[in-house]
Amino acid sequence: MNIFEKKDLLYGGDYNPEQWLGYDGIWEQDIQLMKKAGVNCVSVGIFSWALIEREEGVFDFSWLDTVIENLYKNGISVILATPSGARPPWLSQKYPEVLRVREDRVKHIYGKRHNHCFTSPVYREKTAIIDEKLSKRYGHHPAVIMWHISNELSGDCHCPRCQERFREWLKAKYDNDIEKLNHAWWGAFWSHHYTEWSQIESPSSIGEIGVHAHVLDWKRFSNDMMIEFYNHEVSAVKKYSDLPVTTNFMEIEEINYHKFEKYVDIVSWDCYPRWHNDKESVYDTAVWTAFHHDLFRSMKQKPFLMMESTPSLVNWNDTNKLKAPGLNILASMQAIAHGSEGVLYFQMRKSRGSFEKFHGALIDHDGSGETRVFGEAAQLGRILKDNAKLKGGSSDSQVAVIYDYENGWAIDELCGLKNDRGYKETCIKHYKALKGSGINVDVIGPGADFSRYKLISAPMLYMVPDSTAKRIREYIAGGGIFVATYLTSYVDENDLCHLGGFPGGLKDVFGIWNEEIDSIYGENAVIANGSEYTVTDFCERIHPDKDTEVIATYKYDFYAGEPAVTRHGYNKGMAYYIGARTGVDYLHRLYGEAMQKAGVLVPDVTLGKGISMTKRGEYTFLMNFSDKAAAAVSNGVNFTLEPYGFKII
């Protein structure tokens, strides 16, 4: 049986029984408590390398055999991990090449995790050996339902071999023509004109970090090497097994998962919102979380899997507050609402020592099932059991927000304008303004099929290659509503500025010319329909064409009275341009109007403060992200939700 054939929603998480070898009774206690909590699936084997292969080439699977067999006997499925996320000490001692080299050309010594060189032939050889053995031994075990490749893949390496691979990658990209690279990297600037491929080095704080296209290419290369390494492991486990594969994605911005998604059978991600932090409301944390659920769900337009989360607290914030009673259940149900096929924790039992011993877990150091956290987790186990019907249900979004990882890289790298740029934060603000109407929203990459949507929001889409400009043009021409903002289409895929005026290649579509961008201290404001809305950070001076409507103007500074927001009909569609960084209040109003024009079906609801609404399949979720009871009216029916309560309709 594989994961797609399971009837129930998955419940469980990471489990490291190898930490308790030599502790009598702990494994039995684990199983007993997991069953008590309703756990039906655990991830095993992450970081187990050193306990399986204690000596090079000498494998001992006996403890793992026992663990998997026990789990199976007790009705608990296994997601089996390849152990490449961390190395045994003997490996790097014998083969130092597996260790990464930092950007400043300092080579790591043994330690930590997630820090091997992705191109290392030795590391690939050693992972293939152990992966194949795992595949052969457990690939058909009835407990095992999926492969979990490595763990939280990320990072880059600057070793000589990676330098050489980088040069090869560049040769391939630039048709073996170094002049093409010189043009893309604008090599005449500061005399950085290369004449031999061997002159090229990866970006470095002791060398060059200011050539934007160089940095972009390095990030793309490193992304590719990571995926290549992943696929290398996939090949190994597929040798003896046809189970589905995944790897756990993360919230991070450094990896372009839109290039990765096609290589996993189900998208999974590790979900660690900063609940109860002192910078934002719980509702806003829930918006952040929902954005990410929808991002990972939209990748395959299919249910995904929340691979990690915590039942209580984490151990990496400055202040690690406990989840309030009810919040873990609510947050878990939010994942389900947005398309997760289950709720998995890191971890089943708190480790006794080392770095993560104060990270939340189902079973605490006391070893009892008497804790508040365990009690709530068991309650959630029952709820999940009762809601197997939700499994498989999909979203049906009419609107989408574009979040483009590489665009984020380009915005981060650019030198100038304003240092606080907040690309992802801005996408989340736009998402929030849309989502607040109770609709489902997709979060898509720039290469997604635009035609699915009646409205597309594309905040800060700074990097617009000609091919993307063409697709935007066609989308709007075909009747789509497209909302863009300041910083739209300044550069092409190599961070070369578009010539001829911004938004590059789309001036006629938006019916504007963006002459210059002001970065501001403090605040300005825009006036729209007689109301005033605060703007911050960025104010563009835009010139509308004759047939372009100005729907908001600036209030202050030397461009007071000039256009700030415009609307332009283009063929069958319409293009909005928001020239300044407005707040959610203004965006909510603008999107309200735009959705109406787009014919988006907005549900007839009134949502009290803190309430979020989402549909999965035919079920509608109302969730109260607030420590106060709140009310909602949906299609004329009144609902009252307890603090941190939820309802499935």
Which of 97, 308, 406, 493 is the catalytic position?
308
Q: In this complex, which beta carbon is closest to its own copies, that of residue 90 or of residue 263?
A: 90
Q: Between residue 16 and residue 45, which ones bind its own copies under the rule CB under 8 A?
A: 16, 18-19, 21-22
Asked if 219 touches its own copies (CB under 8 A), the answer is no
Asked if 207 touches its own copies (CB under 8 A), the answer is yes
Number of residues in contact with its own copies under rule CB under 8 A: 115
Q: Using the rule CB under 8 A, give the single segment among 169-177, 184-192, 246-254, 524-532 that binds its own copies.
A: 184-192
Q: How far is the CB of 138 from its own copies (least distance, A)?
A: 19
Asked if 189 touches its own copies (CB under 8 A), the answer is yes
Q: In this complex, which beta carbon is closest to its own copies, that of residue 40 or of residue 248?
A: 248
Return phi, psi of residue 444, to 5°. -120, 160
* Residue 308 is among the residues annotated as catalytic for this protein: yes
Q: Which of 366, 466, 508, 532 binds its own copies (CB under 8 A)?
A: 366
Q: Between residue 581 and residue 640, which ones bind its own copies under the rule CB under 8 A?
A: none
Q: How far is the CB of 25 from its own copies (least distance, A)?
A: 11
Q: In this complex, which beta carbon is closest to its own copies, that of residue 195 or of residue 640?
A: 195
Q: Where are the beta strands (DSSP E) in 149-247?
A: 245-246
Q: In this complex, which beta carbon is closest to its own copies, that of residue 435 or of residue 507?
A: 507
Asked if 206 touches its own copies (CB under 8 A), the answer is yes
Q: In this complex, which beta carbon is closest to its own copies, that of residue 174 or of residue 260?
A: 174
Residue found by looking up tokens 């959630």 in the block: 380
Asked whether the beta carbons of 14 and 47 are under 8 A apart, the reply is no
Asked if 353 touches its own copies (CB under 8 A), the answer is yes
Asked if 478 touches its own copies (CB under 8 A), the answer is no
Q: How far is the CB of 444 from its own copies (least distance, A)?
A: 28
Q: Between residue 85 and residue 124, which ones bind its own copies under the rule CB under 8 A?
A: 86-90, 93, 102, 104-113
CA atoms within a 13 Å half-sphere pointing along the CA-CB vector of 12: 23
- For residue 636, with 0-12 CB atoms within 10 Å meaning exposed, 13-18 middle and 19 or more buried, which class applies? exposed
CA-based max dimension of the chain: 81
What span, in angstroms and rounded, lies between the C-alpha atoms of 258 and 299?
A: 7
What DSSP letter does each residue of 422-477 carry, written as one string? -HHHHHHHHHHHHHTTT--EEEE-TTS-GGG-SEEEETT--B--HHHHHHHHHHHH
Q: Using the rule CB under 8 A, give the single segment among 33-41, 316-324, 331-339, 605-613 that binds its own copies.
A: 316-324
Q: Between residue 261 and residue 300, which ones bind its own copies under the rule CB under 8 A?
A: 277-278
Bond from prior residue into 347 cis (ω within 30 degrees of 0)? yes
Asked whether the beta carbons of 309 and 332 are under 8 A apart, the reply is yes
Q: Using the rule CB under 8 A, give the single segment among 131-139, 283-291, 357-365, 389-397 that binds its own copies.
A: 357-365
Q: How far is the CB of 354 from its own copies (least distance, A)?
A: 4
What span, in angstroms and rounded, lies between the C-alpha atoms of 597 and 605?
A: 19
What span, in angstroms and rounded, lies between the C-alpha atoms of 48 and 151?
A: 12
Q: Specify which residues 568 forms β-bridges with.
A: 575
- For residue 154, with 0-12 CB atoms within 10 Å meaning exposed, 13-18 middle and 19 or more buried, which class applies? middle
Which of 152, 233, 341, 540 is the catalytic position?
152
Asked if 349 touches its own copies (CB under 8 A), the answer is no
CB within 8 A of 319, min separation 6: which ones? 277, 278
Asked if 529 touches its own copies (CB under 8 A), the answer is no
Asked if 375 touches its own copies (CB under 8 A), the answer is no
Q: In this complex, which beta carbon is closest to its own copies, that of residue 558 or of residue 637?
A: 558
- Tell me the two tokens of residue 481: 């509503």
Asked if 81 touches its own copies (CB under 8 A), the answer is no
Asked if 525 touches its own copies (CB under 8 A), the answer is no
CA distances to 377, 430, 534, 570, 595 from 591, in Å: 38, 9, 17, 18, 6
Q: In this complex, which beta carbon is closest to its own copies, that of residue 19 or of residue 40?
A: 19
Q: How far is the CB of 574 from its own copies (least distance, A)?
A: 25
Asked if 141 touches its own copies (CB under 8 A), the answer is no
- For residue 254, with 0-12 CB atoms within 10 Å meaning exposed, 13-18 middle and 19 or more buried, which class applies? middle
Residues marked active site are found at: 152, 308
